[in-house]
Amino acid sequence: MSGMRILAVDDDPGALCYLYEVLRKEHEVMALTDSIEAIAALRSRRFDVVVTDLRMPRADGLEVLAVARALPSPPAVIILSAVDTARAAVEALQRGAQDFLVKPAVAEDIMRTVAAVGVVDRVTDANDGVEPSSSTPEDNFGLAGDSAPIRLVRGLIPILARSREAVLLLGETGTGKELLAKALHSSGPRANRPFIAHNMAATPRELVESIFFGHVRGAFSGATADHQGLFERADGGTLFLDEMDSFPLDLQAKLLRALESGQVQRLGSPAARPVDVRVIASSALDPACLVARGTFRADLYYRLRQLEVLMPPLRDRARDIPALVRQFLLELSSECGGCVGISPAALARLSDYAWPGNVRELRNAVRSAALMATAGTILPEHLPRTLERPATRDSAAAVGSLRAVETEHILKTVERVGGNTSRAARILGIDRGTLARRLAAIEREQRKE
């Protein structure tokens, strides 16, 4: 795409001159070394794209970005920085930048990036209020849709993938945290090494140490052979700790030691073994609340959240539902014996539902309906009966009332046993990890009130 109006900002005259020479061949460019002057120019003229340095003396690139984002017709913003850190890139993208380039960037990368963000910006303006076409599964990392929240997540993937730092993925159950973890692994330098995923909530407490760190023969009764733990199995690759908030408190110090030292020690062995593992952890809860309650170590929490990504709930990206449905139907075509379509009425019902189970619930509903649609088209009657009364805002009061009753029952049970969560969990018929997560959620809800 050519002929865009571009504002280039860099306090280094040499870098700015290079940027100007690269861009002026195809675009109208205003080049400024003073970021305050650049902000004034943003407020007085309209630009399609802003390319700005991150570190500048008077106002940094994030301040330029904030001014640009606040405009009635905000331009696309690309941040340039000599600081090649995933944290800086994540912050810029989360604040609304369309892309992040590391200096010195070559001319081809600059031109390609400017063209790409310019196209996205203009398509967004043209399609305001119109359902956009979905990306193909090959170029969206399996995260279909064109809403702003999911575009942000996809934009972070290439940046986070090349980092060695631990990543903490937060978001409700079913939002696609494991899918994102796989995308980070497959897009980075560890793609050809193991990706090991483990759900902590499904792990028996007495087996956690052996499962993670391994054991040697004779370490305990029944240990008839050496066992390789998850860290060793993931050596050179990625270890994904799903629902990491369920990790036993008394073993968190050993997990922290393994993360910091790059070594693991099998149960019953005096020697430590070196491992090269990138850890990606996830939680449906706010770990800060668990730290405040004393059920999660603060030092481990900060070690795991070197980088942090929030996966948006489906209700915040409802415009993505048609794209997600198309992707699921494409994936299910072989299982269903051919291509399956969906009627407008059935798609409308899917779009009207609030999806408390998020993307996972949507996929299960589409799969069930596709198997029922023997004629090759999903109709409203093929959809699960739970969708007959859409869980929209009209039913929020009823859901809230049910949650209030559950909350009162949990709190009274815990109070009755003097705060003994193990005993309370047995009375409630749930495991201690589930109770801990529910108590943390209750505390978070009460704070908001």
Ranges in the chain annotated CATH 1.10.8.60: 317-391
- Mean pLDDT in residue range 130-144: 55
pLDDT of residue 124: 41
Q: At 243, list the tokens.
A: 């629902």
CA torsion 114-116-122-123 (nearest 10°) is: -170
Q: What is the pLDDT of residues 368-411, one digit of tens each?
A: 998 888 788 999 999 988 886 555 444 444 444 445 656 766 78
Residue percentage of the chain with pLDDT more than 90? 43
pLDDT of residue 125: 41
Please give the pLDDT value at position 411. 80
Q: Where in the chain is the domain with CATH 1.10.10?
A: 396-448
Residue-wise pLDDT for 46-96, tens only, equals: 999 999 999 898 889 999 999 998 898 889 999 988 765 677 788 888 888
Q: List the end-to-end C-alpha distance of the chain, in Å, as a whole number.
A: 49
Q: Quick one: what percent of the chain has pLDDT higher than 70? A: 84
pLDDT tens track for 177-209: 999 999 999 999 999 999 999 998 888 888 899
Q: Which residues pair with 32 in a beta bridge?
A: 9
**Lowest mean pLDDT segment, chosen from 100-109, 136-145, 148-157, 212-221:** 136-145
Angle between helix 432-448 and helix 396-416 axes, rounded to 10 deg: 120
Any idea which fold 396-448 has? Answer: Arc Repressor Mutant, subunit A (1.10.10)
CATH number of 149-310: 3.40.50.300
- The mean pLDDT of 210-233, rounded to a whole number, is 91
Q: What global pTM score does this model have?
A: 0.68
The CATH number of domain 5-126, selected from 3.90.1150.10, 3.40.50.2300, 3.30.230.10, 3.40.50.10470: 3.40.50.2300
CATH of domain 317-391: 1.10.8.60
Q: For residues 381 and 12, give the distance between their C-alpha atoms in angstroms, rounded to a whole number.
A: 64
**Pairing of the two strands 307-310 and 341-342:** unpaired
Q: What is the pLDDT of residue 139?
A: 60
- Alpha carbons within 13 angstroms on the beta-carbon side of residue 400 total 7
Check whether 136 has a pLDDT greater than 50.
Answer: no
Residues of the chain with CATH 3.40.50.2300: 5-126
Contact 306, 170 (CB under 8 A): no
